[in-house]
Structures are given as structure tokens and as C-alpha cells.
Amino acid sequence: MIRFPTDRDGWRLDIISLLAVLGESAMLRHSLPMTTSWLCMLPRLVPAPQALLTNKRPDRPKPHRAHIAGIHSGVVYDELNYFAHLLCDIPLSKFAVREVKIRRAPDNRRDADVEGTPAARELAAAAKAPALGLLRRRFTTTDIWGPRFRDSVTIVTPQRLSPLVFLSVGSCLLTLGLLAWAAVIGDGVAVIAIVALSLTSSLTGMASFWRPRTIARQVLRDVPDGDLALRTRHGAFMIIRCDENVARELYTGTEECEYWIGEKMFNALAGAATFLLMVGVVMMGNCTWTMQAALGASYMLLNGCYQLAALLPETWFWDFSRYVVDEGVPHETKTYTSALWKAIQVSKSTGWVTVMQAAPVTEPWRKWLVEAGQNIENKSWNSGLRLVQLMKEEVQPKGQ
């Protein structure tokens, strides 16, 4: 016969404090968008705050492996920036070709090139100095440990009303409610546990608070368009139409993480947060039965919410209103040769094929690329049949 405890004394909640450190996988997924908002410093209960206490903060958002080449510039890149991947995360089937056009939104024409020049920054600093003088003096420690944070050029910001915003504010209100409840019933140990765990999330958020920074053009001159060709591992191609400014911001420039505080202060805050986490976990295990049950239920609820948020698309957490993306209709092909030929027709160029190494380095393929460049406008040219003919000519014995 199956039996369950008939009263609360039959339930053992001594290890309920383990719930405070579970859910690290979901928190790691949210670490980037969550710590780029000031809300990450709110004192609140957060599942697995140790997920942000890494030995070394990343220097840049994690890029994705890809083969990219400038159609006009001929420059080759072997990785796709984090935000570029999110902005054009268009699933391409095998041997598909798609053309995508990216431009700045008409109502968001901030000239990053002009803002990035040293002269413009000096003028902007001089104009803001009277109004921000007192504020700058108050953040002397930030100047020492995070001197470039205020000068970062941010092209992508977190969504103001993303699911993580509601989770941060909601968990803060939940924490305040638990703290008031513990104070009302006189559970001092629970008060210490809640305060310690809440301060842990605030310190970890402060230590990891960052802003994405891109490399802006420093010299203004006439340059060709920044059109790019992207090749996936399964033989699909994406032709990206954009100007050099957009290409520099999203694809060819390097994304960097500019942190609010420097490495020294990060280590100090990480150490303090680790100590508070240990204190909070120990105190949580010695609360009254009522508060242990309340804290355990709260952590299970928060863990479930963060796990559900991890299932949502990452684009829900970032604001890409700076750009307008026009997605063309994909062209489906059956072979790699057909996909490559279609990509050449769309891009109106064959130079990127060689620099990207999208075709084998053999004599038949070299001749095929030459003829493909000569027949870009010829829709009746049979690319597959011509390649077969060139390969047969290559293997045919001399004199026949």
C-alpha cells in the first residue's frame, strides 16, 4: 500500500537549500541578455547565481562558425558574429540559396562612423561635461576599472519588455514578499538567508554587467558596398546585401564586451558573492519548516520560469529595431553545383568563390568558374552539364 506523510513533520526539508543552486543550464543561456540590463543588479532570488561566477569573463559574445567572404572586397572571415547570427538566423535547407537585404531603419539613422571619430567624441564630451561633471566624479572607481564603458558604441540593446525583464522585476517582488513574511513570523535565520541570497544576485549582476561594443569606421571615404556571401556546412548559400557601415557593424567588425567594472573589482565582487552564497545556503537549511517550504516553492517556480524562457527565441531578448531586414524567397536546388551557380547569379560575381574556397582547386573547376562568370546573365547555361563535360575532358587521354 502506498503511503504519504500525514502531517508536515513527516516531510524532511533539510536539503531544500539545494534548490538554490540548481538550474545552471538555463541561467547560462540567459547570462548575456540578462547582464546587459541594469535590472541584473536588483536584489532578488535567482536560481544558480554561481553560473555567472566564472573565472574569467568573456572578451566577446560567442561567435558561430561560418564561411563568409566580401563579394567586392574579397576579404574572408571564418566566423559569424553573435548579433549577426541572431539577426539573420534564417534556416536554410540543403543546397538552398537566399538573398537578404539589411539596411538601417529610416527612423534610426545614427551615423556610427561620425560618432566613432575622435573629433566627434571630443565634441560630444565637451558638450556633456557641464551636465555630467558631478556624475563623472561620483564614478571614479568606474573610470579606473572600466574606463571605456561610457564610450562604447552600442548598436544592439536589450529589449525593454522582454521576458527576462518581467522575470527580474517579478522575482524581486517575490523576494520582498518572502522577506516580509519571514520578518512577520520572526524567523531571523530566514531573513539572513534571503538577504544573503539576494545580495549574491546583485553582486554577480554588478560584476558581469556589460555593453556590446563594435569597431566603428574611423576614416570617412568612398568605399564599395559591403555585400557578403555566406556558405553553410551543408552546402547552402546566403547573399547579404548591405552597405559598408552595416557590414562593419554586424559582420566584419569584432564584437567586444565592455564591462562596467574592471577585472580587479570583478574578482573582489565574485569573492564576496561566493561567500554570501555559502552563507545563504547554510542559513536556508536552518530556517523554520514554513520558510523552508516557501523558499523551496519559490525556487521551483523561478526555475520553471527561467527554463521556459530558455525555450524562447533569443531574438526576443534583443532590440534589433536599428535594422530592417528584407528576406528574399529561397531558391531550392538539388546539387551543390546548382546551388553554387545560383549563388553566383544572385551575387553577380565569381571572385568570392575562389577566396572562400567554395569550389575545388582543380583545372575543370577553374575553367568552370571562368565560364560561369561569362554566362552570369545567360539563364539557359547548363552549369551541371558543362562541369561534367570539363571533367571528362580532363580525364580523357591525350591525343583522343
Ranges of each domain in the chain? 331-395
Q: Which of 56, 2, 16, 66 is nearest to 287 (CA)?
A: 16
Q: Are strands 237-241 and 96-104 parallel, antiparallel or unpaired?
A: parallel
Three-state SS at 93 = coil
Identify the helix (H) or strand (E) that includes residue 283: helix 263-284
Alpha helices by DSSP H, 65-145:
82-87, 112-116, 118-138, 140-145
Strand-pairing partners, residue 96, are 332
pTM for the full model? 0.77
pLDDT classification of 137: cutoffs 50, 70, 90: very low
Give 33's DSSP letter.
H
d(CA 68, CA 37): 31
What is the chain's mean pLDDT, rounded?
Answer: 80
Alpha-carbon gap, residue 282 to 279, rounded angstroms: 5
Reported as a single tens digit per residue, the pLDDT across 160-174 is 888 999 999 999 999
CA 272 to CA 277: how far, in whole Å?
Answer: 9
Q: Check if the beta carbon of residue 231 is closer than 8 Å to that of residue 237.
A: yes
Average pLDDT score over residue span 107-113: 51
Please say whether the beta carbons of 39 and 163 come within 8 A: no
Separation in Å, CA 288 to CA 47, 54, 131, 183: 21, 33, 51, 12
Lowest mean pLDDT across 118-122, 141-145, 182-186, 267-271: 118-122
pLDDT in tens, 336-362: 999 999 999 998 988 899 888 888 888
